[in-house]
Amino acid sequence: MNNDTICALATANGIGALGIIRVSGNEALSVVQKSFPAKNLEKQKSHTIHYGYFMDEEEAIDEVMLSIFLAPKSFTTENSVEIAFHGSPHIGKRILETLIKNGARMAKAGEFTLRAFINGRIDLSQAEAIADVIASENEASRKVAINQLKGGITNEISVLRTDLLNFVSLIELELDFAEEDVEFADRSALSGLLDKIEVKLNSLIESFQYGNAIKNGTAVAIIGKPNAGKSTLLNSLLKEERAIVSNIAGTTRDTIEEVLHIKGHAFRLIDTAGLRETVDEIEAIGVKKAKEKVENANILVYLADAATEDFSEDIEMIQSLLREDLKLIICATKIDEVIPTKYETVEDIFRSAISHEFDFIKISAVENQNIQDLKNELSSYVEHLKTEENNVVITNQRHFEALRKSMDAVHKVKEAISFQISTELLAYELRNALEHLGEISGEVTNDEVLGNIFSKFCIGK
């Protein structure tokens, strides 16, 4: 199938000023030539653009510009042509139908990038970074994806693999001379290398929490009793009337999710139903959903009405929702309606009752008071996840799992050395560590993994 000439729409579906169709394969030039009489494409230089009409036999389909990229200087390393046409979906469809009639076939999801990987132009982590660049929705995710596209992860891993491979070679040599009882690999030097690898792997593994926040956004659950001001806060943060605000308790029946960008980071704000005991069946479902959202949230913003006299129910609710890894922010709301000494007392009450670390902010969403303080607190949560010593950030779950498996293998190698276990077992665990590291760049992979990765790409990429 890699010898086929493939084609696909590379731009988004819908009407636009321009659309682009990509064609790649050994016969790309001849396939397009059948519909482009204006020039002899076989005689044109690489990286040149040509004007003319794209024809279906005697009928002109559209006025187009062709960009030619000759092998190996193309994205796929194959002969490639990009056809820029007026952005009508109908015209794009007609051009694709004609290309297929000329001998091409429709590309599968991610097939252009798959060919770039198979042909050695990029490694697997770079291929995945391309998808991340396309999907990036904020500045932080764009920067991380571009760094990965430039080979950031591969560069880190390749150094580790090279050093480890040298020792594997020496260990394998010992196996060849097993009867001689000789030792080619210095065990103390190997232990020193393993310590170094362990530190690097640990740094990369720890970066995943920050990377996941960048790539998928940080989940923020806005929780509180009915009429604590949750929907008002959501509207204030988003600067739009996204949620219905009413003095009637229980207005929010379902969860509302919106994305807020703060300092280049994405936060998935979840406005939930007010937490209380209720006989209303629909409201009860909303309360259940609210608790489920907290279970999957990174940050809990709990709103407590500053005018309340008894906070025991709020304290009980907070304690029932807490987890060790949950960031807690308690906001005393509606401070425009109470005297300053009142909300200072509120903080003292929560501090004395809740042992879990939390930040306390007094706000008025109606008057927009101290809303920026809350935004700063959300932003600082993500910034504190970042480790200064490591410029490479892991954002991919597959990479994270491979790194954890590599770390497990390294631990087993260290145990094998410590307990002077046989050279055969030592070699086996070293190969395991190498294999898991190689899974990240694609030096070690299988068709099932490749199929899963590239099936998530859009067609045309």
Length of the chain: 461
Cα dist from 162 to 178, 197, 435, whole Å: 24, 11, 12
Degrees (nearest 5) of the Cα angle 106, 107, 113?
165
CB 441 within 8 A of CB 158: yes
**Does the annotation list 276 as a binding residue?**
no
Tokens 């109908």, residue located: 90
**Does the annotation list 345 as a binding residue?**
no
CB 53 within 8 A of CB 39: no
Of 226, 372, 336, the C-alpha closest to 290 is 226
**Does the annotation list 329 as a binding residue?**
no
**Does the annotation list 272 as a binding residue?**
yes
Of 242, 248, 235, 312, the C-alpha closest to 274 is 248
**Does the annotation list 247 as a binding residue?**
yes
**Does the annotation list 113 as a binding residue?**
no
Q: Which residues contact 204 (CB under 8 A, 6 or more apart)?
A: 156, 390, 392, 394, 403
CB 110 within 8 A of CB 461: yes
**Does the annotation list 273 as a binding residue?**
yes
Q: Which residues contact 460 (CB under 8 A, 6 or more apart)?
A: 8, 9, 10, 11, 22, 107, 112
**Does the annotation list 250 as a binding residue?**
yes
Q: What's the CA gap between 220 and 100, in Å, rounded?
A: 48
How would you list the strands of the sheet with 80-86, edge to edge? Answer: 48-56, 59-69, 80-86, 18-24, 6-9, 105-106
Q: How distant is the alpha carbon of residue 435 from its chain centre?
A: 24
**Does the annotation list 121 as a binding residue?**
yes
Q: List strand residue ranges (DSSP E) for 45-184, in order.
A: 48-56, 59-69, 80-86, 105-106
**Does the annotation list 76 as a binding residue?**
no
Q: What's the CA gap between 195 and 135, in Å, rounded?
A: 36
**Does the annotation list 101 as a binding residue?**
no
**Does the annotation list 218 as a binding residue?**
no
**Does the annotation list 231 as a binding residue?**
yes
**Does the annotation list 438 as a binding residue?**
no
**Does the annotation list 227 as a binding residue?**
yes
**Does the annotation list 249 as a binding residue?**
yes
Q: What's the CA gap between 121 and 98, in Å, rounded?
A: 30
CB 333 within 8 A of CB 305: yes
Could you say which DSSP state residue 12 is in?
Answer: P
Q: What's the CA gap between 269 and 387, in Å, rounded?
A: 25
CB 126 within 8 A of CB 116: no
Residues forming the annotated binding site for GTP?
Answer: 227-232, 246-252, 271-274
Annotated binding site for K(+): 227, 246, 248, 251
Please enumerate, by residue number, every residue annotated as part of a binding site for (6S)-5-formyl-5,6,7,8-tetrahydrofolate.
22, 82, 121, 461
Annotated binding site: 22, 82, 121, 227-232, 246-252, 271-274, 461
- Which residue ranges make up the annotated binding site for Mg(2+)? 231, 252
